[in-house]
Structure 1
Amino acid sequence: MHTDNHPAGDPGTATTRTLTAPPALAPLLARGAALSPFKRPRAGAGFPRTRLVLPEVRIDLARLAAYERVCGFGATGEDALPVTYPHVLAFPLAMRLMAGRAFPLPLLGLVHTSIEITRHRALAATGTYELAVHVEDLVPHRRGTEAVVVTRARDGERTVWESRSTYLARHRTDQEQKQEKEEGKEEEGRRERGAGVRQPDAVRAEWRLGGDVGRRYAAVSGDRNPIHLHPLTARVFGFPRAIAHGMWTVARCLAERPVPAAAHVRAEFRAPVLLPSTVTYAAGGPAFALRGGERLHLTGEVRELA
């Protein structure tokens, strides 16, 4: 159920739709899967201008504890959410938008390619929040089209947490990309090796990731994209094995380091983490990175807000 109204001061969103309960994820995934074969993604396509709002969100503490275990957050005794957890809380709203008929990218096979998080203060696990999600834009990518999804959490009248994520739908592009094919291959190699990216040198940990990491994270996050669950379903979308969720990799890295109460977090998911595999976590100053051998999987940084 929902109510509609036009938001004040938000010219980029045509309609605000207020939900009375979180959308159920299983029907959304089924709908998105059914519609995916009929989607013809392109950067210039139209996209839903709806802003979904879910008020009065309270935290399921048992589910939060399961998430913390899967992502490696230790028990600190503090009443504070991990900086990545509001993304999980808002994921059903993002799915509602991306599984809809008006969303031009196929839900199946979408890959999370980056996230920027701004946390204005620590969020209490016992707090009550309003979540809002909208699609901000569709942008061209050398391997397809990316959707930009914005999420905000409010505590009363103040925004306390916000994020900007990009999701890639891989597809054949126009003649211009065909002419740049070889350049793209060289660029991809540089990106995976981290050329031009400031990276920390100090290896802090090595993790052996089991083949079930994607299924375990899916159980606590609700993100059951088949590219994460099993080698057979991942191969349908061009991956030789299941890949770890990008949000699991960044959460696992952030669990290894202190994050200020007011912080800006940026992470780019540069190459998939195939499961099972062994990866190394490195950190130095604000920067962190995740590698598998010479392959760079993730780069990011954490900075305290002034």
Structure 2
Amino acid sequence: MLPVLLKAALPSVPVVNQLPGVRKVPGADLGSLSASREVSVERDHVTAYGAVCGFPHKDTAPLPYPHVLAFPLHLELMTSPEFPFPAIGSVHLENTITAHRAIEVGEALEVTVTVRGPRPHPRGALVDFVTEVRGSEHVAWESVSTYLRRGASASGEPGPGLTLPDPLPGGIEWRLPADLGRRYAAVSGDRNPIHLYPWTARALGFPRQIAHGMSTLARCLAALENRLPDAVQVEVAFRKPVLLPGSVRFATAGDRHERTFSLANPADGAAHLVGRARAL
């Protein structure tokens, strides 16, 4: 992964970021950026992912699992010279997952990621990574991962973003270990330094390492296992980083047709994550 991490980091380094092969291309047509791969859902990988995120052992993949199959394509596109922003420093702000059915362990899939944007945001510019996962014939799973590049610009007026409820009261407290970022990186391939060690996170402006947004979402959905249908749409907004080690309070309300959930700071109630799941 070291060459990939260097490719992700170098566009953020002054002077170096002007070198051929490193320099980003402002104003590139993001609509032309797309990548695909064919994969098989391997039981050992699903089991390892489930162990990190809290999912039970089953013959179907956990609801958010296809995101890790798509992440190498996200990184490939982010590190392309045609992508206008450095990968390091982009913030995962929102995610929408639409599962049309359960995905079987052992199933062969085609994963395609395309890029849309940029769109304006009060703090910069947004870019959407749109993932489509196909089985033998039809689309089985889709997602839109929205990343914020602070300080960048895009034409137009900012949109409202996802409209989600405030954090729920009560709930149960989870203690997240210091090595969670490293464990999730091992199964997801997302080895962004902000998630790994205190010293790598401090180098990028954080007091210590933070949890992956998709790791916290996966832990929430694992807590809702068997309370959501196979055909479901999940919307989530990542509000505030979760410092590791640390404690969070998980709360949920609703039924199988529509359910809200949240992660909040137990001390002050500040939201780390708010989400909603709706049956299709």
TM-score (norm 2): 0.85
- Describe how 1:163-174 pairs up with structure 2 within 5 A: 163-171=143-151
- Describe how 1:181-220 pairs up with structure 2 within 5 A: 197-203=165-171, 205-220=172-187
Residue deviations 1:34-62 (CA, integer Å, cap 9, x gap): 233326797x654361321213x112221
State the match for 2:159 in structure 1.
none
- Describe how 1:1-306 pairs up with structure 2 within 5 A: 25-37=1-13, 38=17, 46-47=29-30, 49-55=32-38, 57-75=39-57, 78-171=58-151, 197-203=165-171, 205-257=172-224, 258-285=227-254, 286-292=259-265, 293=267, 294-305=269-280
Distance, in Å, in 2 between the alignment partners of 1:68 and 1:141 is: 34
Residue deviations 1:72-116 (CA, integer Å, cap 9, x gap): 1123xx311111000001111111100111111111122211100
3-state DSSP class of the match of 2:216? helix
Distance, in Å, in 2 between the alignment partners of 1:150 and 1:47 is: 12
What are the ranges of 5 or more consecutive residues in structure 2 without an aligned counterpart?
A: 18-22, 155-162
Instruction: Tell me by how many angstroms 1:199 deviates.
Output: 3.9
Closer, same or farther in 2 for the Cα pair 1:230/1:132, shift >3 Å? same
Distance, in Å, in 2 between the alignment partners of 1:141 and 1:224 is: 26
Closer, same or farther in 2 for the Cα pair 1:148/1:289, shift >3 Å? same
Distance, in Å, in 1 between the alignment partners of 2:25 and 2:147 is: 12
3-state DSSP class of the match of 1:151? strand
Distance, in Å, in 1 between the alignment partners of 2:164 and 2:185 is: 33
TM-score (norm 1): 0.78
Identity %: 45
Contact 2:208 2:243 in 1 (8 A): yes
Instruction: Tell me by how many angstroms 1:198 deviates.
Output: 4.2
3-state DSSP class of the match of 2:62? coil
State the match for 1:17 in structure 2.
none
Closer, same or farther in 2 for the Cα pair 1:101/1:196, shift >3 Å? closer
Query: Across the two proteins, how many residue pairs are aligned to each other?
Result: 256
RMSD value, Cα: 2.2
Distance, in Å, in 2 between the alignment partners of 1:49 and 1:134 is: 8
What are the ranges of 5 or more consecutive residues in structure 1 without an aligned counterpart?
A: 1-24, 175-194
Contact 1:41 1:169 in 2 (8 A): no
